[in-house]
Amino acid sequence: MKHMHEFEIKKMLRMAAEAMEKAYAPYSDFRVGACLKASSGAYYLGCNIENAAYTPTVCAERSAMFKAIYEGERQFEGIAIISDSLNYTSPCGVCRQVLAEFCDPDMPVICADRDGNYKMLELCELIPMAFTKEDMEH
């Protein structure tokens, strides 16, 4: 597990909680916020954005990631996720796949509950044997 200082984790969780306030979640009434740290040192915040048609909904993790990619970032140090839940919020399967596209398998993923208690995992624990560009070599 890559080391991440407790101070840094708490800072990212605070930013993720701020991002959660921006959630557009009238259908699930479940707000999620994410804080993605790029290797440049910049932080990218995202929230879930729902849709009346449900399936176009985008999660907090992907909204943060897509903002970062748009800004030219291609390397990441960690992501923190927080929600309204009493339980730890871990990324959905689609977000795990998107994270696997751009992040190293050992990147820390910080999954917090609404009180800021957290569990830190490596991305490869959340998506073992992810399908990546290497799997398309032929």
- 67 Cβ contact partners less than 8 Å away, ≥ 6 residues apart: 44, 45, 46
Does position 40 interact with ligand THU (CB under 6 A)? The reply is: no
Shortest CB 74 distance to ligand THU, Å = 22
Shortest CB 104 distance to ligand THU, Å = 20
- Tell me the C-alpha to C-alpha distance, in Å, between residue 21 and each of 24, 32, 84, 89: 9, 8, 10, 16
Does position 50 interact with ligand THU (CB under 6 A)? The reply is: yes
Q: Which residues are catalytic?
A: 61
Binding site for ligand THU (CB under 6 A): 25, 28, 30, 32, 48, 50, 57, 59-61, 81, 89, 91-92, 95
